[in-house]
Structure 1
Amino acid sequence: MKTINLLFSIDDNYFEQLKTTLFSLRNNTPNTFFRVFVLQKKKFDWENEFKKFCSALNMCYKPLIIGANDFKYAPVTKRYPETIYYRLLAQDYLPKDVEKILYLDADILCINDISSLYDLKLNSYLYAAASHSQLTNLTTVVNKVRLQNYDTEQYYNSGVLLINVVQARHIINHKIIYDFIREKRATLLLPDQDILNSLFGDQILSLPDQVYNFDARKNLTYEMISNGTWDLDWVINNTIFLHFCGKEKPWEKNGKGKFAALYKHYAHLSKLTAAKID
């Protein structure tokens, strides 16, 4: 059976959302064993419950506990919390046998098989990621000026990252990231994403966002720029990840948007699975 390594970085507030994401992954990627690595500051109160939930989905939960002093020299403020470093330095915490891993934000829903993404050959690329630049070209231009990385073609979203862990162990370290933040902190708006693009943007394999990182807020924009091709039927049949970017989230009581009902359906099924375990 095929094994896929998954990576998340959450706090106590995203327990239910993580379960929904995992259920959607399980539901749409059969005949696969998942190792679920979670970067976390400390042991969660719900750890035993989560282990049982993962086991029921043929997944194995692997907590990656960040030591209390691991980031004591990191530039940290209210705007730049310690958690911004976790996904960029995940290779320091992963077991040596992990050579590739897929990082996902916990506000993502999987609606088709992820094998096409995980099986990509990264070769010498550090990451594979998608840009949302086709949704607004102006943002790409502004980011190039702001971050002064004119050689990079895109500004990549860090919510879906296929990570070449072997390459990352050779190239990325704490000092590179700390020094960059100290030098550029005045211009950083989305810290972890800005770091990713500024330091490693030219080492990212570009993915089509309409397939691998569909911004669920922008369904009308996708349909318009594709001359009607990327409509709802196309998304349901072809898109791998719906990413619920922004402040409004589909799990909220008054969550809106074309895909909010689909998310709530998966969340409901996830809760039913958890209830059966109990």
Structure 2
Amino acid sequence: MAEQENKIHIALAFDQNFIVPFYVLITSIFHNNKKNNIVLHAIAAGVDNREREKITRFVQENQSQIYFYELDKANVDALVLPDNVHFSAATYYRLFFPSLVPADIKKLLYIDTDTVVVGDLAELYRVNVDSVPAAAALDAKISLRPDLGISTKGHYFNAGVMLINTELWKSQHILEKALQFLNDFPEKIEWADQDALNALLQNNIVQVSNRFNITFYDIPKYLTRQEFDAFIKDKVIIHYTTQNKPWMMTCTNRLRYIYHYYLKLSPFATQQKYIDFKINKSYFLKYLKVRLKEFLIDNGVIRARTTASDSL
């Protein structure tokens, strides 16, 4: 599966509501992958031609390429969507990419758009997937899913970052099998197509380090801001899973500052950090509670107290 040297094919799926996070993500990719030849493959549902032209210009300004693909919404509209406010139908689009991109693309790196890239993607792209349809990191929150056939820890993966072998994905009919699973077992679906993929790809996937997909549950609780800078030095992709999105005022993800850093480097640099500002007493108190806890952590109060109590 030899690819042109330094060429990395990346698949991204988003809709109009995720335009800003999309720009933040690709800004972070360009910033940290200047030695790589980045080729983006995008499904941009509901994004008009004028916006696509703006995206194309920005990508080209960063010496990269982008190709847009159309997907019939009927393919996903009938699929079960979990009762999670941070999910949209766009989560299913990743299933279709191997069938959409040109056949000569043998490897495709799929990345969710609620992420930022903080390192060189070449190491991940070089992972050997010659004998499997995909590579992914384990999910830090979900360890057991007996209903999916996962009864031992260390087998459930997070599909938000996947290195896909497009040929095996197609020849093993992963798309068709996943759609069939979603239709046959809607009662088992908690995390959309991620559940279907986990049920189908057990023992048929390469596990990679969580450095390539740091989720909310991978983040240490009591690090200070300065310690977080050291924590991310060897990381490659930060994934803002759960409802704790960095564009929400009450986000408790301590790595949200990284998203805001790339927001300032993006074409949306003048946009406010948060999209949900409310002049509401209860909401403001919740915001203050989150920030006060972080202030106490950054100044060693909470950790000092925790350490002292642990030693008793």
TM-score interval, normalised by the smaller of the two chains = 0.7 to 0.9
1:59 aligns with 2:55: no
RCO higher in 1 or 2 (8 Å CA, sep ≥ 6)? 1
1:140 aligns with 2:136: no
Q: How does 1:99-114 map to 2 (within 5 A)?
A: 99-114=106-121
Alignment correspondent of 1:97: 104
Write out per-residue CA displacement over residues 19-52 of structure 1, whole angstroms, 9 at most, x where no aligned residue. 1111111111122221110124455341111011
Q: How does 1:126-205 map to 2 (within 5 A)?
A: 126-133=133-140, 136=141, 139-141=142-144, 143=145, 145-150=146-151, 153-172=154-173, 174-205=175-206
Q: Which amino acid aligns with 2:195?
A: D
Contact 1:217 1:257 in 2 (8 A): no
Distance in 2 (CA, whole Å) between partners of 1:174 and 1:268 is 37
What is the alpha-carbon root mean square deviation over aligned residues? 2.7
Alignment correspondent of 1:28: 32
The alignment's TM-score, normalised by the length of structure 1, stands at: 0.83
Alignment correspondent of 1:228: none
Distance in 2 (CA, whole Å) between partners of 1:173 and 1:216 is 28
- 3-state SS of paired residue (1:220): coil
Distance in 1 (CA, whole Å) between partners of 2:138 and 2:174 is 24
Distance in 2 (CA, whole Å) between partners of 1:3 and 1:193 is 27
Quick check: which has more Rg, 1 or 2?
2
Distance in 2 (CA, whole Å) between partners of 1:52 and 1:183 is 43
Write out per-residue CA displacement over residues 239-278 of structure 1, whole angstroms, 9 at most, x where no aligned residue. 0011111112112345443211221011111127899xxx
1:10 aligns with 2:11: no
1:220 aligns with 2:220: yes
Give 1:151 deviation, angstroms. Answer: 7.2
Distance in 1 (CA, whole Å) between partners of 2:262 and 2:180 is 42
- 3-state SS of paired residue (1:62): strand
Contact 1:155 1:197 in 2 (8 A): yes
Distance in 2 (CA, whole Å) between partners of 1:188 and 1:249 is 22
- Closer/same/farther in 2, CA of residues 148 and 221 from structure 1, 3 Å limit: farther
The alignment's TM-score, normalised by the length of structure 2, stands at: 0.74
Alignment correspondent of 2:245: 249
- 3-state SS of paired residue (2:65): strand
Distance in 2 (CA, whole Å) between partners of 1:89 and 1:222 is 40
Distance in 2 (CA, whole Å) between partners of 1:85 and 1:6 is 16
Q: How does 1:73-92 map to 2 (within 5 A)?
A: 75-77=78-80, 79=82, 83-92=90-99
Give 1:168 deviation, angstroms. Answer: 0.9
Give 1:184 deviation, angstroms. Answer: 1.3
1:39 counterpart (38, 43, 49): 43
Contact 1:41 1:67 in 2 (8 A): no
Q: Which amino acid aligns with 1:56?
A: E
Q: Which amino acid aligns with 2:143?
A: T
Give 1:123 deviation, angstroms. Answer: 1.7
Task: Report the more deviating stretch, 173-182 or 50-59.
Answer: 173-182
Give 1:222 deviation, angstroms. Answer: 9.8
Q: Which amino acid aligns with 1:215?
A: T
Distance in 2 (CA, whole Å) between partners of 1:222 and 1:239 is 18
Distance in 1 (CA, whole Å) between partners of 2:247 and 2:151 is 38
1:263 aligns with 2:259: yes
Q: Which consecutive residues of structure 2, in runs of 5 or more, have no partner in the other structure?
A: 272-312
